[in-house]
Amino acid sequence: MAEVVAPDVRFRDKPGAWVDLGLTLPVFLVYHLGVVFLGVKNATDFVTSWLLRACEGNVPMYLGATLVIGGVFAAAFAVAGRGQAFHPRKFIQIGVEGVIYAISMAVISSYVVGHVFAGPSAIATSGPFVGLVMSMGAGFYEELTFRAILFGLGAKVLVWLLSKEKMMLAGQAGPAPGMTLRSMVVMVTWALVCAVVFSGVHYVGSLSDAFEIRSFTFRMLLGLALTLIFVTRGFAAAVWTHALYDVWVMVFHR
């Protein structure tokens, strides 16, 4: 009887969709278990309000439902993620990658913007707990909204419409197919558009910042950097990078 050998998990392996989601589970849970006590939530969070309404405003019930969702999430990940590039050490790897990318992203973006506008604007929060929870929410929901949905699905549709080519969703496991120059131009242009939208939403709504070209440019560059991480390393890497960068800004760099 032939022995089944588990595939070797290499650093360069991008997680599949289910593994990507599983690697973001800690970020999801920290945010959803903490945000209910803050009275505010991330602008792209479409789950918390619905879940609170479903629980009729009962906080213990909400917390229990969140843990159940996390459990279902983990179980689906464990079952459907089999055979994809995963090993428990991937959690450590993705955390280390997030730290490295977050530091690199902050240094490079600060350098570029600093030479043009004399540095990015500071972000104020109401305390370290608020900063931590909101960082987790921004990492998960903004990457889901702007990288996975807006950029990932949008690029797939635009490439098909404008170049008549099929492409894998950005961040999906497996080698990237060969792309024509037109498709690459479409993707780069769409990445720029998504970065502008990502930066722009920070100046809309009741909790928005006052518009400054300096902070707008800085956030646009961060959006481009996160898109590059999403495409090359996957959704989980982008989520952890975004969350850890925001922790640095809102918790430690105050």
C-alpha to C-alpha distances, 165 to 72, 176, 227, 231, nearest whole angstrom: 36, 13, 21, 18
Asked whether the beta carbons of 28 and 105 are under 8 A apart, the reply is no
Q: Residue 11 domain-assigned?
A: no
| Band (91; pLDDT cuts 50, 70, 90) | confident
Average pLDDT of the residues in 242-253: 86
- Residue 187 near residue 147, CB atoms below 8 Å: no
pLDDT at 175 over 60: no
pLDDT of 226 over the 90 cut: yes
Residue 171 has pLDDT above 50, yes or no: no
Predicted confidence (pLDDT) per residue in 181-206, tens digit: 888 899 999 999 999 999 999 888 76
The reply to whether 190 falls in a domain is yes
Mean pLDDT of 70-95: 71
Q: Are 243 and 136 in contact (CB under 8 A)?
A: yes
Retrieve residue 187's tokens. 């993707």
Q: What is the pLDDT of residue 108?
A: 81
Nearest-5° angle of CA 176, CA 182, CA 185?
Answer: 80
CA distance 139 to 238: 8
pTM of the model: 0.83
What is the chain's mean pLDDT, rounded? 80
Domain count, the chain: 1
DSSP string, 53-120: HHTTT-HHHHHHHHHHHHHHHHHHHHHHTTTSS--THHHHHHHHHHHHHHHHHHHHHHHHHHHHHSSP
Among 91-100, 142-151, 231-240, whose mean pLDDT is lowest? 91-100
Asked if residue 126 is part of any domain, the answer here is yes
State the residue range of the domain holding 98: 17-252
Assigned domain for 7 exists: no
Residue 139 within any structural domain of the chain: yes
Is 1 part of any domain? no
What per-residue confidence (pLDDT) applies to 139? 94
Looking at the domain assignment, is residue 8 inside a domain?
no
Helix intervals (H) in the chain? 17-23, 25-34, 48-54, 59-80, 89-117, 128-137, 154-163, 181-200, 213-233, 235-247
